[in-house]
Structure 1
Amino acid sequence: MVEEARKWFRPMARVGYAARGLIYLVIGIFAALAAIGAGEAMGSEDALQVLLSSGAGGVVAYLLVAGLLFYALWRLIQSGFDTDSHGTDAKGLAVRAGLLVSGVTYAALALYAWSSVRGDGGGGGSDGGGGVAEYLAGFVGARWVSGGLALILAGVGIAHIAKAVRERYAKYIEAGPDAMRYIHPVAKTGLVARGIVFLILSFMLATRAMRGGGGTPGSKEALEFIQSLPFGWLLLAGMGVGLLAFALYSFTEAAFRRINVEDAN
């Protein structure tokens, strides 16, 4: 029975990677459009609303909900059972903490998508999950929690960039050398771009924690911060390209990522 569960879980986890790719595809496109003044930056919830209202059909909407839910579950399994052997040293625990945060975030996003599909309305911030996200946002708004989450996000951002530079992602991709020649530049560009977003979010959370401000920033706020910098339009355009690369990397993981759920003992 356990083996049967693993068999049906793997394809659903792949749907989850594809769902993440679709969300970042929309985020990347709108970031590039915002850079040239043809739109505004979006967060995960905004991107999800674009996808759900695209007229692609109810089946696609429910696949998105299921994909996000199973992706969240897979992240929690990776974190709790250490399926990728990150270990229990400081570095490994930091990576697993990032996986835990990712799992909770995508679970909230799945709940938000479900409420949108059912017509219950959205709410919350740019990357939350309806009423649940609002409750969590109030909790995360506490200074000590914001500070701790800022540290986790900083670690996740650095880990993304290190993963790109050292090509650590490659050991999880089951593809031949010919395919990897194309995957490497896409993966590196995408991981660095997403790592930068995490570092900006960490900085924003840490600043709010020190000032005692409320609210929880998301990817939309991070992109708007980039846009506000000198030559922000150029930086935002580059970030848009990077996030499009991350979307392609997510699709690559949907096809070739090793879903080693059997290691969750």
Structure 2
Amino acid sequence: MAAPSSTRSARSTRTRRVGRPRRAVRARNFEPLAKAGFIARGVVYILIGALALAIALGKPAPEADRTGALQAVAAEPFGKLILWLLVIGFAAMALWRFAQAYYGVRRRGHRGGQEALAAVRGVIYTVFFIGTLRYVLGLPAPHSTNQQTRDFTTTAMAHSYGRILILLVGIVIGVIGLAVIRIGVTKSFLKDLQLGQASRRTREGVEALGTVGNIARGLVYAGVGAFMVDAAATYDASKAKGIDATLRSFAHTPVGPVLLVVVAIGLALFGVYSLAEARWHRKI
């Protein structure tokens, strides 16, 4: 005889309640990966900020993006070791984001879609991991963001609906940039941190780093998106710019290199904020 529906419902509820703690325990096993990932991200942003600052001051430097950062690291005495640590860090971050997507994102003010966003971030860091690993193994460095952007726009414009695709991608990147700026201005990044045990000075310092860093990072993304929209509107692929070219364009504004200096410092501060996030990030 089949069990009543109320009994089956009660069993299902108990199963979910038992399953949640197990999933939470398994999720916590991924926390060390998050720390390694945030440290790797922090190192890269500090390097990008330093490269951008060197460009602003007129000094020779590799392109101010992830590829340039890898090349700068490789030129150092212990560069090979640091690159391997970055490989591990990017792999760790990818796995942790995928774990978030599977087990669920736990944060104050959680909204729908966070798990999907975590999955997208996991894919992005997987690309970073593969590119860095190939470089460490002696293969050519990943294409710079300038080259990737030019290749994408040139290829897209060869098709009938290419301009629409470029326009949409540019709008998406621009919106992401504005969203990141908003995160910095509203300090919503604090929802991802556990600073209850930190001192007041530490909390204020981390808050300042996250605010300035996210605004600087958002400005760069917004700039990349704006240049891509301009390329689509004028049907000129050469107007699309990657992160390095966007940063260099900041030096040609009415205020001169000052804006590039400010953004460069902001990117480096975001790198420091990432290191702080490795210490105080909220559990998965």
- The TM-score normalised by the length of structure 1 is 0.80
Alignment of 1:171 with 2:191, yes or no, is yes
Alignment of 1:155 with 2:179, yes or no, is no
Q: Distance in 2 between matches of 1:78 and 1:145?
A: 30
Partner in structure 2 of residue 263 of structure 1 = none
Partner in structure 2 of residue 124 of structure 1 = 143
For the aligned residues, what is the CA RMSD?
Answer: 3.2
Aligned length: 252
Indicate the structure whose relative CO is greater, using CA pairs within 8 Å and at least 6 residues apart.
1
**Aligned partners of 1:82 and 1:96 also within 8 Å:** yes
Alignment of 1:9 with 2:30, yes or no, is yes
Q: Distance in 2 between matches of 1:120 and 1:222?
A: 27
Residue deviations 1:28-58 (CA, integer Å, cap 9, x gap): 1121121121234511111122123323254
Q: 1:192 aligns with which of 208, 215, 231?
A: 215
Tell me, which stretches of 5 or more residues in structure 2 are unaligned?
1-21
Residue deviations 1:132-183 (CA, integer Å, cap 9, x gap): x998777777433322222222222122222122211112111235221111
Q: Distance in 1 between matches of 2:243 and 2:206?
A: 24
Q: Distance in 2 between matches of 1:147 and 1:97?
A: 23
Partner in structure 1 of residue 230 of structure 2 = 207
Percent identical across equivalent pairs? 24
Alignment of 1:51 with 2:51, yes or no, is no
Partner in structure 1 of residue 46 of structure 2 = 25
1:1-265 to structure 2, matched below 5 A, reads 6-40=27-61, 42-56=64-78, 58-75=80-97, 83=105, 84=107, 86-88=110-112, 102-126=121-145, 142-175=162-195, 176-178=198-200, 179-214=202-237, 217-260=241-284
Q: Distance in 2 between matches of 1:109 and 1:86?
A: 27
**Aligned partners of 2:74 and 2:83 also within 8 Å:** yes
Indicate the SS of the match to 2:145.
Answer: coil
CA apart distance, 1:203: 0.1
Indicate the SS of the match to 1:120.
Answer: coil
Higher alpha-carbon deviation: 98-107 or 66-75: 98-107
- The TM-score normalised by the length of structure 2 is 0.75
CA apart distance, 1:98: 6.6
CA apart distance, 1:78: 5.0
CA apart distance, 1:99: 5.7
Q: Distance in 2 between matches of 1:38 and 1:170?
A: 36
Structure 1 residues 127 and 137: alpha-carbon distance in aligned structure 2, compared to 1, 3 A threshold: same
**Aligned partners of 1:32 and 1:241 also within 8 Å:** yes
* Letter in structure 1 aligned against 2:53: A
Structure 1 residues 107 and 128: alpha-carbon distance in aligned structure 2, compared to 1, 3 A threshold: farther
Residue deviations 1:215-249 (CA, integer Å, cap 9, x gap): 76321121011122223311111111111111111
CA apart distance, 1:27: 1.0
Work out which of the two has the higher radius of gyration on C-alpha atoms and give 1 or 2.
2
CA apart distance, 1:100: 5.8
Structure 1 residues 99 and 30: alpha-carbon distance in aligned structure 2, compared to 1, 3 A threshold: same
